[in-house]
Amino acid sequence: MKWPLLDVPSSATVKDTRSPSPAHLSNKVPVVQHPHHMHPLTPLITYSNDHFSPGSPPTHLSPDIDPKTGIPRPPHPSELSPYYPLSPGAVGQIPTPLGWLVPQQGQPMYSLPPGGFRHPYPALAMNASMSSLVSSRFSPHMVAPAHPGLPTSGIPHPAIVSPIVKQEPAPPSLISGSLDCEKSPVTVKKEEEKKPHVKKPLNAFMLYMKEMRAKVVAECTLKESAAINQILGRKWHNLSREEQAKYYELARKERQLHSQLYPTWSARDNYGKKKKRKREKQLSQTQSQQQVQEAEGALASKSKKPCVQYLPPEKPCDSPASSHGSMLDSPATPSAALASPAAPAATHSEQAQPLSLTTKPETRAQLALHSAAFLSAKAAASSSGQMGSQPPLLSRPLPLGSMPTALLASPPSFPTTLHAHQALPVLQAQPLSLVTKSAH
DNA sequence: CGACCTTTGAAGTAT
DNA sequence: ATACTTCAAAGGTCG
């Protein structure tokens, strides 16, 4: 019962061939914005099975070492993941513009500071073994940035954010480790500031957002990301299992690649680098919520309003995700809707009731209830099995008691955990499971 | 100017 | 083992 390897290159084919997306007009990180003609995931699509199979590391992960420079020789550019390009050294030798920096080649996974990333990233010049020689404890990016032998034209890894970028300085003890233990706090801080920030690899949903955001924005009057994200969240839930699987697989590969490029990197490294989120907000409605609700109202009234295209039950939108009919009514996957346990039934609830796009606990409870109702029906309908292609999402540690056992198994590439704070398809709709969301 | 908002998922820490 | 927290993207909004 192995989750079938997705033929990413073929299945992911150019979804985003349409409208130029406003996203590339962003002034936030213009450098990294992908061109509208480029499928945002195109870079990832280079992960063809030929180049990247789960069983074996991508060929570019074991680059030859240039005998002259000792720098890993880059593979053919086409083999490079623009998201996780090779070492800067290798990068610097790439004859063609780098994927993650060059719009024509693809969208970078990670944003760069407006000023660009000037200094080379020596750590990336090391492969895993090299880095281990330098430090078996610290991430490659923890290594002193200066490397005389490296070309200054080194291009930063997209996962790396210039240390200049604000980021609340984490406790030196946390970051610097023993290497800096003998240095003065000032020195430590300085070096810390030089340290590139390796970002977390994007998860499936983030990848999906990256791809779909531009479209949603293009077709909606809403511009606020918070509102867009809510819509995207719903769309995500409405994706068929196949569609989601695509992103889970991509995310899995991203993590794999990330872990190979940054063997010592840990998510912990980034802890505390962002301002702590406000705990108790949600008391007042945000404007985005109001906007979304307006959109919802428009949807309910079927008037031409923001995002109507994205929310209709039968014909969600003309987005690629649904263009092949897999989103809501994929005939091949009767249980496809189960791929989104938290999703209210696209075909049932969306029109029946306004989107529950507010963070109000009570409203979330409603959402859960709706989801529960939908799931109950769906679960009953899908109790016949079809495990081979069952979405993994139901395998989360929830009130599984009432779930069909057949739904509990999950493909390896799917998430196996479900947080209580997430919108839950709680069949028994326990308010308790929703309360914790307020802490998010 | 920078945190907040909002989403899901992964991975971390805390209990 | 479970629950909770943080960060990843994004861009308008707000203090």
List strand C contacts in A 218-237 (CB < 7 A).
223-226, 229
Q: Tell me, in Å, how far CA of A437 is from C1' of C3? A: 12
List strand B contacts in A 166-195 (CB < 7 A).
166, 168
What the block records as the tokens of A79 is 């083999």
pLDDT value of position A219: 86
pLDDT value of position A197: 82
Does A156 lie in the same domain as A62?
A: yes
Long-range contacts for A270-279 (Cβ within 8 Å, ≥24 apart)? Answer: A270/A197, A270/A198, A270/A199, A270/A200, A271/A170, A271/A174, A272/A168, A272/A170, A272/A171, A272/A174, A273/A167, A273/A168, A273/A169, A273/A170, A273/A197, A274/A167, A274/A168, A275/A168, A277/A440, A279/A439
Closest CA to A312 of A303, A215, A369, A211: A303
Q: Which nucleotide comes closest to A234 if you measure CA to C1'?
A: B7
A11 in contact with nucleic chain C (CB within 7 A): no
Q: Tell me, in Å, how far CA of A270 is from C1' of B12? A: 10
What's the domain range around A435?
360-382+422-440
pLDDT value of position A220: 84
Does A369 lie in the same domain as A283?
A: no
Q: For residues A238 and A346, is the Cβ–Cβ distance under 8 A? A: yes
Query: Is A396 among the domain residues?
Result: no
Query: Is A284 among the domain residues?
Result: yes
Does A218 lie in the same domain as A163?
A: yes
Query: Is A376 among the domain residues?
Result: yes
Q: Which nucleotide comes closest to A161 if you measure CA to C1'?
A: C8
Query: Is A337 among the domain residues?
Result: no
Does A305 lie in the same domain as A204?
A: yes
pLDDT value of position A76: 36
pLDDT value of position A213: 92
A36 in contact with nucleic chain C (CB within 7 A): no
Does A219 lie in the same domain as A366?
A: no
Instruction: Say how many domains are in chain A.
Output: 2
Q: Tell me, in Å, how far CA of A270 is from C1' of C5? A: 13
**What's the alpha-carbon Rg for chain A, to the nearest Å?**
23
A260 in contact with nucleic chain C (CB within 7 A): no
pLDDT value of position A221: 84
Closest CA to A169 of A38, A252, A239, A274: A274
Q: Which nucleotide comes closest to A414 if you measure CA to C1'?
A: B9
List strand B contacts in A 260-319 (CB < 7 A).
266-268, 271, 274-278, 281-282, 285-286, 288-289
Query: Is A397 among the domain residues?
Result: no
Query: Is A416 among the domain residues?
Result: no
Query: Is A408 among the domain residues?
Result: no
Closest CA to A191 of A210, A177, A207, A211: A177
Does A97 lie in the same domain as A14?
A: yes
Tell me the C-alpha to C-alpha distance, in Å, between residue A366 and each of A161, A207, A231, A280, A431: 40, 28, 17, 20, 9
Query: Is A404 among the domain residues?
Result: no
Does A429 lie in the same domain as A303?
A: no
CA distance A318 to A237: 16
Does A269 lie in the same domain as A186?
A: yes
What the block records as the tokens of A276 is 């702590």
CA distance A232 to A239: 10
What is the pLDDT tens value at each position of chain A, 440 positions in all? Answer: 333 333 333 333 333 333 333 333 333 333 333 333 333 334 443 333 333 333 333 333 333 333 333 333 333 333 334 444 444 333 333 333 233 333 333 344 444 433 333 333 333 333 433 333 333 333 333 333 333 333 333 444 556 665 443 333 333 333 333 333 344 555 655 555 566 788 999 999 999 999 999 999 988 888 889 999 999 999 999 999 999 999 999 999 999 999 998 998 999 888 887 765 554 433 333 444 455 555 545 444 433 344 433 333 333 333 333 333 333 333 333 333 333 333 333 333 333 333 333 333 333 333 333 333 333 333 333 333 333 333 333 333 333 333 333 333 333 344 444 433 333 333 333 332 333 333 33
Q: Tell me, in Å, how far CA of A325 is from C1' of C1? A: 40
**CA closest to C2 C1', residue:** A397
Q: Which nucleotide comes closest to A423 if you measure CA to C1'?
A: B8
Cα torsion A213, A18, A80, A23 to 10°: value is -40
Does A306 lie in the same domain as A202?
A: yes
CA distance A139 to A175: 10
A394 in contact with nucleic chain B (CB within 7 A): no
Q: Tell me, in Å, how far CA of A46 is from C1' of C9? A: 21
pLDDT value of position A223: 84
pLDDT value of position A184: 57
Does A364 lie in the same domain as A319?
A: no
Which residues face A53 on adjacent strands? A56
Does A374 lie in the same domain as A297?
A: no
Q: Which nucleotide comes closest to A228 if you measure CA to C1'?
A: B6
Find and list the nucleotides of strand C having atoms within 7 Å of a protein beta carbon. 2-14
Domain C-terminal end among A278, A308, A323: A323
Does A147 lie in the same domain as A99?
A: yes
Domain C-terminal end among A296, A323, A350: A323
